[in-house]
């Protein structure tokens, strides 16, 4: 197989003694130069047997030559430059002999790369690990004309092939883009890779695209305008040394890093439209390929030759056969026009035959067409380097294509883009890029999706036809694709012959063709549904389309998962056992894009339901993905080539699809009751008795016993003992040491907390916090406080239908605001106290069984447990727990009446707080006992009267009108007011 594919036709291997380390092919395609330590050898590529005298190197012979490059410019083809160590040497042929003309010395460490400007024959860029990048005017070789400085040494420097000003350099894993008009800093910065990048090449067709070859075994395509994303990634098994665009089609040639000694298959040919794998491997070299270059190709021929130089001391010339070019998207029957932008750029410069096509815009700042080829080089030669650099600046201030020469064409293209008005049901323009000179279109045909990129060469529409490429997400098989391409290209040619524009006709043709295709395919037809206009509007500004290669940043969809929900439920969905992936060596791909590439050539099965429409391509792909794996497994050991398109087993496959439809839609709910440390039954049984803690503990021990938590029985029994009345602290600070200071007091309790913390048993933690916290924090609270506050809750919640406030956020807030169950204790701290009080306070702290410093944590336990109770809808229990919280929660940082204002009883000013902002006295007076209300208060929303919750409850047990005698039917009115949501206004409540 390989023998047939490798079209190596010449192998020159008698240059053993040259020990050449670098190779270059000149711009005429006539000579290859092998450069080594001992000297420079010229090889006539048409007649390799001819022996030329070796060009002698001057000076330092001890260094290898790292790079050699011919001047690519027309008329300057008898010049080349070599780099060895820190010096770059310029050689030129004068009267039949080669002379070393100049040495460019400025770098302080070895030169890693150099590159001639594509546009200026005297401009050379060199880069080095010394962190400098120099531009040289070869007529002024004494010192560099321009220097760029970076922190990191550069491994590669390459001029943009379409823009006179830009060059790119590679620094480890980063790419920097420079504008030679602005040498202070890089104009763009791309963090391309975590590993080292070895090679870089600009797209010969566009100023915006480049490719990198990296140590991480990938070749990545970048759009310099959008540096955060790779456009495309080609993966290999070996670190890549170089990646270079092919002069034809959308191909790319990569070479493996030399040191790795992989020999075989180190040189690969890829097509961007098929990024899954290389389409060809150039096999033959027995050792590493040191360098490769395209031989400049003769006009009108489609004979492309790749020249390679290997460590095995052989120079090989490979012809790329038409079928390979075809795979790279080249249409063979038509001679590829020399104006095609994908042909290497220097040729473009070198062969301008068409006076209508002004080249490069150098010197033609006004946009006036430049002229004959002869005149082309003149301004370059005539200008000093500064002048050359300066003159186009005026015209090319913004980006590439504004650069003089092409100023006409984009406008033509722009016009064409603007004039295209298609209203086709199945074809949509996704993107039109005038600058990049391409547009992307999608088309739907029943179950197929077509994504096509149309490139417009610079010479379009005069000389060249647009180039059509299917993007990988296209779901047609290759034969259909080729057929379609042929049809469309014929259309273009016809249009051109009639001096008409191509795009619109092309799209019309595409629409008709895929309609026809649909009829021929056996799939029952269904009208293509996506409305072209709306989907265009929606996606026009966005570059990606469903399932396209741009999805390579989108993670592969999850097909199974498990999530904890509620308190102790586990929701699980799985890929059904019937659809599964094959053997253990298969891992799930990471990106969504692999879905489209894996299914590239396969028609999609019929959708699962009647509602299915063509945009459901992706889901079907996903299901197919797993299907496909299953199939592969079955066919193990058999012929495993990708011939899905003609797979006879397709019908049976679509039947399994429908069969598994229900299985893939199951969600299983598990109960994780045994796993979570919290227990719902226990939560219901736990008691809160504020005035009798030992009793509470005893009852809770019984509750724990009833659900089988024996450890908690012990804990509660212990708690009962610890809380027994004999151990109640002495109120006198000078009395005996409080029980809390005993080892069985606070210390013991803390170890209990530590233990249950490590178990994450928030239920126990919170209950213990409640039990031990209450005795010392609120000893003065009236008896029966717990049941009372519970009633407050239910009393205040007036919405009977759903006791949990699922309606509105404001509801929750208002109810919270209405019941002031938080202690106003905090307000005491602000006051001045005498030393005796401070001592008492300290004593109070030391009598606490709970570590006073950790109050916030105990509160957090309670809140967290309250949240769990809320999830269980155990609202009373939740309210009980929250009553024990010592400091106000985060959301109610200010203890205030929230939305209610009162007129202060003392100063008659409006106050929103418990303590009046103006006179600092308690602002709200109880209507029953006529004392200030500090704690829990209830009041009527209608008349504003109220007071201590306990008093109000007492009153309204027997009465239904306001205790002040205002005549308000408080209970009824409040309910009414609540329903009408009075919170929109600012009610000021007066007494």
Partner 1 sequence: MVSVISTVDTAHEDMIHDAQMDYYGVRLATCSSDRSVKIFDVKGGQQTLVADLRGHEGPVWQVAWAHPMFGNILASCSYDRKVIIWKENNSAWDKLFEHSSHDSSVNSVQWAPHEFGLALACASSDGSVSILTYTDGKWESQKIKDAHAIGCNAVSWAPAVEPGSLIEPPSSQKLVPVKRFVTGGCDNLVKIWKEENGEWREEHKLEAHSDWVRDVAWAPSIGLPHSTIASCSQDGRVIIWTSDESTGTAWTPKILNKFSDVVWHVSWSVTGNILAVSGGDNKVSLWKESLEGQWVCVSDVNKGEGQSSTPTDTQPEQ
Min. distance of Cβ 941 from partner 1 in angstroms?
Answer: 21
**Is residue 602 classed as helix, strand or coil in its secondary structure?**
coil
580 lies in the binding site for partner 1 (CB under 8 A): yes
In the stretch 643-682, what mask flags binding to partner 1 with x, by CB under 8 A? ------------------xxxxxxxxxxxxxxxxxx----
Site size for partner 1 (CB under 8 A): 113
Binding segment for partner 1 among 24-32, 84-92, 432-440, 588-596 (CB under 8 A)?
Answer: 588-596
623-642 binders of partner 1 (CB under 8 A)? 623
**Is residue 211 classed as helix, strand or coil in its secondary structure?**
strand
Min. distance of Cβ 622 from partner 1 in angstroms?
Answer: 6
Both tokens assigned to 430: 């996704």
Min. distance of Cβ 216 from partner 1 in angstroms?
Answer: 12
Binding segment for partner 1 among 112-120, 421-429, 536-544, 969-977 (CB under 8 A)?
Answer: 536-544
CA distance 170 to 201: 10
826/839 with CB nearer partner 1:
826
Task: Please tell me the number of Cα atoms within 13 Å of 570 on its side-chain side.
Answer: 11
228 lies in the binding site for partner 1 (CB under 8 A): yes
Min. distance of Cβ 910 from partner 1 in angstroms?
Answer: 23
946-985 binders of partner 1 (CB under 8 A)? none
733 lies in the binding site for partner 1 (CB under 8 A): no
Binding segment for partner 1 among 453-461, 489-497, 546-554, 832-840 (CB under 8 A)?
Answer: 546-554
Binding segment for partner 1 among 507-515, 518-526, 586-594, 875-883 (CB under 8 A)?
Answer: 586-594
887-926 binders of partner 1 (CB under 8 A)? 887-888, 890-891, 893
96 lies in the binding site for partner 1 (CB under 8 A): no
Among 446, 254, 253, 317, smallest CA distance to 31 is for 317
Binding segment for partner 1 among 195-203, 512-520, 566-574, 770-778 (CB under 8 A)?
Answer: 566-574
463-522 binders of partner 1 (CB under 8 A)? none
The answer to whether the CB of 282 falls within 8 A of the CB of 290 is no
The answer to whether the CB of 641 falls within 8 A of the CB of 602 is no
**Binding residue (CB under 8 A) for partner 1 from 2, 60, 562, 838:** 562
* Residue 842: how many other CB atoms lie within 10 Å: 12
236-295 binders of partner 1 (CB under 8 A)? none
Q: Find all residues with CB under 8 Å of 631, minimum gap 6, and list them.
A: 649, 653
707 lies in the binding site for partner 1 (CB under 8 A): no
Min. distance of Cβ 830 from partner 1 in angstroms?
Answer: 7
CA distances to 136, 148, 163, 393 from 180, rounded to whole Å, are 12, 9, 11, 10
47 lies in the binding site for partner 1 (CB under 8 A): no
874-893 binders of partner 1 (CB under 8 A)? 886-888, 890-891, 893
367 lies in the binding site for partner 1 (CB under 8 A): no
Q: Find all residues with CB under 8 Å of 970, minimum gap 6, and list them.
A: 940, 942, 943, 945, 956, 960, 961, 962
45/451 with CB nearer partner 1:
451
425 lies in the binding site for partner 1 (CB under 8 A): no
63/556 with CB nearer partner 1:
556
**Binding residue (CB under 8 A) for partner 1 from 152, 572, 928, 977:** 572
Min. distance of Cβ 756 from partner 1 in angstroms?
Answer: 10
The answer to whether the CB of 559 falls within 8 A of the CB of 553 is no
Q: How far apart are the first and last CA of the chain?
A: 100
594-613 binders of partner 1 (CB under 8 A)? 607-609, 611-612
366/555 with CB nearer partner 1:
555
CA distance 766 to 416: 73
* Residue 834: how many other CB atoms lie within 10 Å: 8
553 lies in the binding site for partner 1 (CB under 8 A): yes
The answer to whether the CB of 168 falls within 8 A of the CB of 178 is yes
Q: What angle do CA 221, 223, 226 make, to 5 degrees?
A: 130
Among 223, 106, 227, smallest CA distance to 174 is for 227
123-152 binders of partner 1 (CB under 8 A)? none
Question: Peptide bond before 909: cis, by omega within 30 degrees of 0?
Answer: no
166-225 binders of partner 1 (CB under 8 A)? 191
Min. distance of Cβ 785 from partner 1 in angstroms?
Answer: 22
The answer to whether the CB of 991 falls within 8 A of the CB of 945 is yes
Min. distance of Cβ 766 from partner 1 in angstroms?
Answer: 8
Q: Is 446 left (phi over 0), alpha (psi -120 to 50) or beta?
A: left
Min. distance of Cβ 454 from partner 1 in angstroms?
Answer: 23
Min. distance of Cβ 874 from partner 1 in angstroms?
Answer: 11
14 lies in the binding site for partner 1 (CB under 8 A): no
CA distance 328 to 247: 10
The answer to whether the CB of 192 falls within 8 A of the CB of 220 is yes
Cα-based torsion angle of the residue sequence 849, 853, 855, 860 in order, rounded to the nearest 10 degrees: -120
592 lies in the binding site for partner 1 (CB under 8 A): yes
Min. distance of Cβ 596 from partner 1 in angstroms?
Answer: 13
Cβ neighbourhood burial of 662 (10 Å; 0-12, 13-18, 19+): exposed
For 292-315, give the DSSP string: EEEEPPPTT---EEEEEEETTS-E
Min. distance of Cβ 671 from partner 1 in angstroms?
Answer: 5
**Binding residue (CB under 8 A) for partner 1 from 564, 695, 784, 921:** 564
447-466 binders of partner 1 (CB under 8 A)? none
Min. distance of Cβ 230 from partner 1 in angstroms?
Answer: 8
Strand-pair category, 988-989 with 188-191: unpaired
60 lies in the binding site for partner 1 (CB under 8 A): no
519/667 with CB nearer partner 1:
667
519/856 with CB nearer partner 1:
856
768 lies in the binding site for partner 1 (CB under 8 A): no
757 lies in the binding site for partner 1 (CB under 8 A): yes
Q: Where are the alpha helices (DSSP H) in 778-926?
A: 785-796, 809-818, 826-829, 835-847, 855-871, 875-883
CA distance 777 to 517: 83
Instruction: Find residue 267's DSSP bridge partners.
Output: 255
Element housing 981 (H / E): none
Exposed e or buried b for every residue in 374-385, given b needs 16+ CB within 10 A? eebbebbeebeb
558/957 with CB nearer partner 1:
558
**Binding residue (CB under 8 A) for partner 1 from 200, 324, 765, 904:** 765
CA distance 600 to 597: 5
Binding segment for partner 1 among 153-161, 408-416, 618-626, 831-839 (CB under 8 A)?
Answer: 618-626
584 lies in the binding site for partner 1 (CB under 8 A): yes
332/666 with CB nearer partner 1:
666
CA distance 781 to 795: 20
Exposed e or buried b for every residue in 177-200, given b needs 16+ CB within 10 A? bbbbbeeeebeeebebbeeebbbb
**Binding residue (CB under 8 A) for partner 1 from 5, 417, 556, 912:** 556
567 lies in the binding site for partner 1 (CB under 8 A): yes
Q: Find all residues with CB under 8 Å of 958, minimum gap 6, and list them.
A: none
211/357 with CB nearer partner 1:
211
784-843 binders of partner 1 (CB under 8 A)? 804-809, 812, 826, 829-830
Task: Please tell me the number of Cα atoms within 13 Å of 706 on its side-chain side.
Answer: 13
844-863 binders of partner 1 (CB under 8 A)? 852-861, 863
């Amino acid at each position: 197989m390989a023998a047939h594919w490798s079209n190596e036709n010449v192998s020159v291997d008698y240059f053993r003694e040259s020990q050449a380390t670098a190779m270059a092919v000149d711009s005429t395609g006539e000579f290859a130069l092998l450069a080594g330590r001992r000297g420079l050898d010229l090889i006539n590529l048409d007649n390799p047997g001819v022996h030329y005298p070796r060009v002698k190197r001057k000076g330092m012979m001890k260094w290898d030559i790292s790079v050699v490059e011919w001047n690519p410019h027309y008329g300057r083809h008898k010049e080349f430059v070599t780099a060895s160590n820190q010096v770059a040497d310029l050689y030129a042929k004068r009267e039949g002999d080669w002379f070393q003309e100049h040495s460019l010395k400025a770098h302080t460490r070895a030169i890693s790369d150099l590159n001639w400007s594509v546009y200026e024959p005297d401009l050379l860029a060199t880069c080095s690990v010394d962190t400098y990048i120099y531009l040289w005017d070869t007529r002024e070789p004494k010192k560099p004309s321009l220097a760029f400085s970076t922190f990191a040494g550069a491994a590669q420097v390459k001029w943009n092939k379409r823009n006179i000003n830009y060059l790119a350099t590679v620094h480890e894993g980063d790419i920097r883009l420079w504008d030679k008009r602005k040498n202070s800093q890089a104009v763009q910065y791309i963090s391309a890779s975590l590993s080292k990048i070895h090679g870089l090449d600009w797209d010969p067709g566009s100023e915006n695209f480049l490719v990198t070859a990296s140590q991480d075994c990938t070749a990545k395509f970048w759009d310099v305008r959008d540096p955060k994303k790779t456009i495309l990634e080609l993966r290999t098994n070996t670190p890549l040394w170089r990646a270079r665009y092919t002069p034809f089609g959308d191909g790319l040639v990569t070479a493996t890093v030399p040191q790795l000694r992989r020999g075989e298959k180190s040189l690969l040919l890829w097509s961007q439209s098929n990024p899954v794998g290389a389409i060809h491997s150039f096999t033959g070299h027995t050792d590493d390929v040191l360098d490769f270059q395209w031989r400049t190709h003769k006009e009108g021929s489609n004979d492309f030759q790749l020249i390679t130089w290997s460590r095995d001391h052989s120079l090989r010339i490979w012809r790329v056969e038409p079928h390979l070019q075809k795979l790279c998207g080249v249409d063979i029957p038509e001679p590829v026009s020399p104006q095609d932008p994908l042909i290497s750029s220097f040729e473009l410069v070198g062969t301008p035959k068409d006076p209508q096509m002004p080249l490069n815009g150098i010197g033609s700042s006004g946009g006036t067409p430049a002229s004959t080829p002869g005149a082309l080089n003149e301004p370059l030669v005539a200008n000093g380097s500064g002048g050359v650099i300066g003159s186009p600046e005026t015209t090319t201030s913004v980006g590439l294509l504004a650069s003089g020469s092409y100023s006409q064409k984009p406008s033509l293209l722009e016009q064409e883009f603007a004039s295209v008005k298609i209203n086709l049901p199945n074809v949509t323009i996704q993107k039109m890029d005038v600058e990049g000179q391409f547009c992307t279109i999608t088309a739907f045909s029943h179950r197929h999706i077509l994504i096509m990129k149309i490139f417009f060469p610079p010479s379009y529409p005069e000389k060249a036809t647009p180039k059509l490429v299917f993007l990988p997400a296209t779901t047609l098989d290759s034969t259909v694709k080729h057929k379609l391409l042929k049809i469309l290209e014929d259309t273009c040619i016809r249009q051109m012959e009639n001096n008409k524009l191509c795009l619109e006709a092309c799209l019309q043709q595409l629409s008709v063709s895929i309609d026809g295709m649909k009829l021929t395919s056996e799939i029952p037809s269904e009208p293509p549904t996506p409305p072209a206009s709306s989907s265009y509007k929606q996606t026009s500004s966005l570059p990606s389309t469903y399932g396209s290669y741009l999805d390579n940043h989108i993670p592969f969809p999850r097909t199974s998962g498990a999530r904890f929900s509620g308190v102790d439920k586990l929701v699980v969905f799985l890929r059904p056992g019937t659809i599964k992936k094959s053997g253990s060596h298969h891992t799930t791909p990471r990106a969504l894009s692999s879905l489209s590439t894996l299914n590239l050539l396969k028609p999609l099965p019929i959708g699962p339901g009647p509602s299915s429409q063509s945009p459901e391509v992706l889901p079907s792909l996903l299901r197919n993905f797993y299907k496909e794996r299953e199939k592969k497994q079955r066919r193990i050991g058999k012929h495993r080539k990708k011939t899905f398109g003609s797979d006879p087993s397709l019908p049976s496959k679509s039947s399994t699809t429908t069969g598994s439809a229900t299985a893939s839609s199951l969600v299983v709910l598990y109960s994780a009751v045994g796993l979570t440390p919290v227990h719902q039954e226990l939560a219901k049984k736990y008691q809160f008795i504020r005035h009798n803690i030992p009793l509470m503990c005893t009852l809770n021990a019984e509750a724990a016993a009833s659900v089988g938590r024996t450890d908690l029985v012990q804990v509660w029994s212990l708690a009962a003992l610890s809380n027994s009345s004999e151990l109640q602290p002495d109120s006198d600070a000078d009395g005996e040491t409080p029980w809390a200071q005993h080892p069985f007091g606070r210390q013991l309790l803390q170890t209990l907390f530590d233990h249950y913390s490590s178990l994450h048993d928030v239920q126990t933690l919170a209950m213990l916090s409640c039990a031990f916290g209450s005795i010392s924090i609120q000893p003065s609270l009236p008896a029966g406080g717990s049941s009372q506050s519970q009633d407050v809750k239910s009393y205040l919640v007036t919405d009977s239908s759903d006791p949990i406030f699922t309606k509105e956020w404001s509801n929750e807030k208002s109810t919270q605001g209405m019941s002031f169950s938080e202690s106003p204790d905090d307000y005491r701290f602000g006051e001045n106290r005498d030393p005796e009080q401070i001592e008492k306070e300290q004593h109070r702290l030391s009598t606490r069984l709970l570590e006073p410093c950790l109050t916030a944590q105990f509160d957090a336990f309670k809140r967290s447990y309250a949240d769990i109770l809320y999830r269980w809808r155990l609202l009373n229990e939740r309210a009980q727990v929250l009553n024990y919280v010592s400091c106000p929660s985060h959301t109610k940082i200010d203890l205030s009446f929230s939305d209610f204002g009162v007129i202060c009883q003392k100063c008659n000013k409006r106050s929103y707080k418990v303590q009046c902002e103006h006179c600092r006295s308690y602002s709200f007076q109880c209507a029953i006992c006529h004392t200030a209300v500090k704690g829990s208060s209830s009041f009527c929303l209608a008349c504003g009267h109220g007071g201590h919750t306990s008093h109000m409850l007492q009153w309204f047990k027997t009465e239904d009108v306001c205790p002040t005698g205002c005549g308000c039917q408080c209970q009824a009115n409040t309910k009414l007011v609540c329903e009408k949501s009075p919170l929109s206004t600012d009610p000021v409540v007066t007494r």
